[in-house]
Amino acid sequence: MATKVMNVRTTQTKQSLINAFIQFVSKKDFEKITIADITKAAQVNRATFYAHFKDKFELLDFIIGDSASAAIINRTTGEVKFDQDSIHKLVLALCDFYEQPNIRCRSSYVSLVVPQLKEKALNELRVYLSKSLKHLYSDEEMKMYVPIYAQVIHEGAIQWATGITIMNKEEVAKRVALLVIGGFESSARTLTGDDTQ
């Protein structure tokens, strides 16, 4: 019983630190946010902050990573497959991730946050795709195809999130899913020697 209470308290404290950080993100430049700012807003001491995070960079990394994973789980409902529907959902998940309100990028965050967002998104995609493709490819093929598929899916979401394309996110997701699955089916036919089309 005591362990359960301690776990709940730890989770609540960590969430308080996250909420305090998010509160400052839209008001203050990242460089100017201090641990003291965060701990004061979260109503905890510095030692408590350091019990959860090494520094504010690790806190930011935790927030970004958690939201990338959550977006994918939310859209796929935790189901891991490699088909047109699942690729469609992955693109939508990344669109959700990039439009999240948790971290509103002030100009000072662009160089810091955008690369972290991209790396977290690609990392989560690679994890998902590795699981969904493990029965379809050898380990060597996985090393090649997983990063390629992840980049294509990510690029579709970025095209939408940055306004490069005027298509709505559903249309982008549909087209990227067709591209990925079409490429997968074509390469599978070529590899098996069944390229009769």
For residue 23, what is the domain's CATH number? 1.10.10.60
Position 190, amino acid: T
Alpha-carbon span 82 to 104, nearest angstrom: 32
Locate tokens 């699942």: which residue? 86
Q: What does pTM read for this prediction?
A: 0.72
11 & 62 share domain: no
Positive or negative, the CA dihedral 107, 112, 113, 118 is positive
Q: Are 60 and 116 in contact (CB under 8 A)?
A: yes
Asked if 145 and 174 sit in the same domain, the reply is yes
Please indicate, yes or no, whether residues 44 and 67 belong to a single structural domain of this protein: no
Are residues 23 and 69 both part of a single domain?
A: no
Q: Report residue 130 as tokens.
A: 């590795």
Evaluate whether residue 24 is within a structural domain.
Answer: yes
Domain that holds residue 33: 1-53
Each of the 197 residues of the chain gets a pLDDT tens digit; together they read: 445 444 556 678 999 999 898 888 777 878 889 999 999 999 999 999 999 999 998 898 888 777 888 899 999 998 999 999 999 999 999 999 888 654 444 445 555 666 778 888 999 999 999 999 999 899 999 999 999 999 999 999 999 988 899 999 999 999 999 999 998 887 766 666 665 55
Q: Say if 197 falls within a structural domain.
A: no
Instruction: Assess if residue 25 is contained within a domain.
Output: yes
